[in-house]
Amino acid sequence: MSFMLRMSWLLASLFFASLSAQNQTTLLTPKPGPAPRLNGPLVYGCRPGHPFLYRVPTQGQRPIQFSADKLPATLHLDPHTGFITGTAPDRGSYQITLMAKNRYGKTKRPFKIVSGDTLALTPPMGWNHWYAHYDRITDKLIREAADSMIQNGMADVGYQFVNIDDCWMNAEKNRDPLRVGPLRDADGRMMSNQHFPDMKALTDYIHHKGLKAGIYSSPGPTTCAGFCGSYEHEAQDAKQFADWGFDFLKYDWCSYDQVVKQVRTIENLQKPYRQMGDLLRQQERDIVLNLCQYGMGNVWEWGAQVGGHSWRTAGDLGYELNRIFQVALKNAKHRVWSKPGSWNDPDYIQIGYIGNARTAGEPEPCPFTAEEQYAFMSLWSLMASPLFYSGDLNRMDALTLNVLCNPEVIEINQDPLGVCARVDSLSPETFLMVKEMADGSTAIGLCNSGEQPARITAAWPQCGLRGKKIVRDVWRHRDLGLFDASLTLAVPRHGVVLVRAWDVGKKRIL
C-alpha cells in the first residue's frame, strides 16, 4: 500500500471509529428489551362518576396480556390493549397492582387511583402542536401526532395528551382563507375552522388510541394569533370543550389586557382563570387546566387556588432556546409551589425538528447538541415540570426519541411526592439539583452550564444524604457503585449528569 493510501485508510478508520464512539456516547438510553416493562405514574387522580380512560404505558413486544388486581368494580382493564375504561369510582384511594406478561416474561407494578377533587397528581405529559406547526395545524396533523405517539413508543413511557394549541378556530383575517369565517354560529357556539371539520370525531380518534385530547383558548376576545377567544362566552365554551370530549384546556391570556384595560391587579389577573376553573369543574368530565399568562402576578402563588393544574412561569421559551439553564434556575425558584395537582410550567420540550419561533417557519433541526438535549430533559424532570414535547412527530430521529423516552428519567419527573428539585450553586457555572423521591431515594443532577467540560462533586451533606449509597446513572440504566460521602463525575459542556441514590439494601423498583 502506498503511503498516501495507508494514510487515507488510517484517517477513514479513525473517522468511523470516532463516529461509532460518538453514537455510543450520544444515545444514552438503552433500547427497551422484548419483555414487558410497566411504566407511567404510580398515582393517578380522577373525579368520582366521570368517564375514565387510562392507557397503561407499557414497553415490550406485543402481544402483551394485561391484568390488574383490586381494580374498582366501576373500571375495566382490556387484557389486550391495556386500556382502563369505565366510570371513576366513589371518592377514595384504590391501591391496585397492574400486571403485564408476554412470551419473554412478566412484570407487575403498583398503581394508586385517587378519586377525589384533584387531577394531574403527577405532571401532565404529552405533545403540543405549537412549536412544530404554528398556524398550519390541521385535524390530519393532530391525528398523525396521535398515531406517532403510539408507533414511536412515546405512549409506552407515559406521554398521554395530544394537545391542539392556537389557530384551530376562525379568525376575521388570516393568510389562510380556510381559517377565516364566522367566529361563532347562530347560537353563539365557537366554530372550528375548515381544517378541523369535526372536533368530536377528532377526540374520539384520539381516545380510541387510549390517549387524551387537549384544546386551547383565550379569556380575551381574540387569541394571541388573532383567532376567536372565549370572552363573554366562557360558560358556553367550557361546555363545548367538554361536549367535544376534550381532557385538557390551555387558557392563554393574550388579548385579555383589553378587557382589564391594561390594569393588571391580582384580582384582574385571577378573574378569568377562576371563572374558567369553576366552569371546568362543573363539567361532567375531567379537564386539566393549564394557565398560560407568562408568570404575571406570581401566578405560582395562586394558580392552584383558581383551579389551575399548571401555570407557565415565564414567557415563551421559543425565544430563549439558548438559555435553558437560566430558564430552569428561574423556574426552580418557585419550587415550594410544586405539588401533586399544581405544577410550575417552564414551557415545552423543544428538541428534534421544531419550527423557528421568530418566523413561525417550517420545522427544522433544533440548535442543540446531544448533551444540551439530554440536559433539557434532565432539568425538566428534576423540576417536576409538565413534560410536553413540542416538535414535529413526523420527523422524529433516534436521538430525539432517545432523549424523550427514558422511563427511569421520566420516573423522576413523575414521582408521587411532586417535589421540584432544589438548587445548590457550586460555582458561577456549575450547580446541583437535588430532588427527594417518594421511596426515600434522591435524584441528583450534576449540572454544568459552562462552555467547558467540568468535574462536579455532589457531597452527601449538600444533597441531604448520610452514609453509604448505591448510585445509578439513570440515563444509561447503569449502577455506578457504592459511594460513602460524595460522588465526583465529569459533566460535559452545557450538560447534566442525572443520577439516583438509594440506601444500600433498599428495594428498588426499576
Kindly list the catalytic residues: 252, 316
Sign of the dihedral through C-alpha 415, 419, 425, 428: positive
Tell whether residue 166 is a contact of ligand GAL (CB under 6 A).
Answer: yes
Cβ closest to ligand GAL, residue 227 vs residue 368: 227
Cβ closest to ligand GAL, residue 130 vs residue 231: 130
- For residue 317, the minimal CB distance to ligand GAL (Å) is 8
Binding-site size for ligand GAL (CB under 6 A) equals 10
- For residue 166, the minimal CB distance to ligand GAL (Å) is 3
Q: In 232-369, which residue ranges form alpha helices assigned H by DSSP? A: 234-244, 256-259, 266-281, 324-332
- For residue 363, the minimal CB distance to ligand GAL (Å) is 16
Give the rounded distance of the alpha carbon of 105 from its chain centre: 29
Cβ closest to ligand GAL, residue 356 vs residue 425: 356
Residues 260-319 that bind ligand GAL (CB under 6 A): 292, 316
Which residue from 66, 130, 388, 483 is in contact with ligand GAL, where contact means CB under 6 A? 130
In the numeric block, which cell numbers belong to residue 462?
A: 449538600
Cβ closest to ligand GAL, residue 166 vs residue 247: 166
3-state SS assignment for residue 123 = coil
Q: Alpha carbon of 72 to those of 51, 76, 86, 113: distances in Å?
A: 14, 8, 10, 9
User: Is the CB of residue 89 less than 8 Å from the CB of residue 48?
Assistant: yes
User: Is the CB of residue 479 less than 8 Å from the CB of residue 510?
Assistant: no
Residues 298, 242: Cα–Cα separation, whole Å: 29
Which residue from 252, 286, 408, 411 is in contact with ligand GAL, where contact means CB under 6 A? 252
Give strand pairing partners of 500.
Answer: 443, 472
In the numeric block, which cell numbers belong to residue 73?
A: 368494580
- For residue 68, the minimal CB distance to ligand GAL (Å) is 37
Stretch of 110-118, 186-194, 222-230, 406-414 contacting ligand GAL, by CB under 6 A = 222-230
Angle, CA 457 vertex, CA 456 and CA 463 arms, to 5°: 125
Q: Quote the strand ranges of 387-449, DSSP E.
A: 387-389, 422-425, 430-436, 442-448
- For residue 254, the minimal CB distance to ligand GAL (Å) is 6
- For residue 384, the minimal CB distance to ligand GAL (Å) is 20
Stretch of 74-82, 86-94, 223-231, 450-458 contacting ligand GAL, by CB under 6 A = 223-231
Cβ closest to ligand GAL, residue 166 vs residue 411: 166
Cβ closest to ligand GAL, residue 83 vs residue 273: 273
Cis omega (within 30 of 0) for bond into 365: no
Which residue from 156, 165, 247, 371 is in contact with ligand GAL, where contact means CB under 6 A? 165
Residues 425, 329: Cα–Cα separation, whole Å: 10
Tell whether residue 224 is a contact of ligand GAL (CB under 6 A).
Answer: yes
Phi (first) and psi of residue 253, to 5 degrees = -45, -55
Taking each helix axis from N to C end, the angle separating 370-382 and 324-332, rounded to the nearest 10 degrees, works out to: 10
Tell whether residue 225 is a contact of ligand GAL (CB under 6 A).
Answer: yes
**Which residues of the chain form contacts with ligand GAL (CB under 6 A)?**
130, 165-166, 223-225, 252, 254, 292, 316
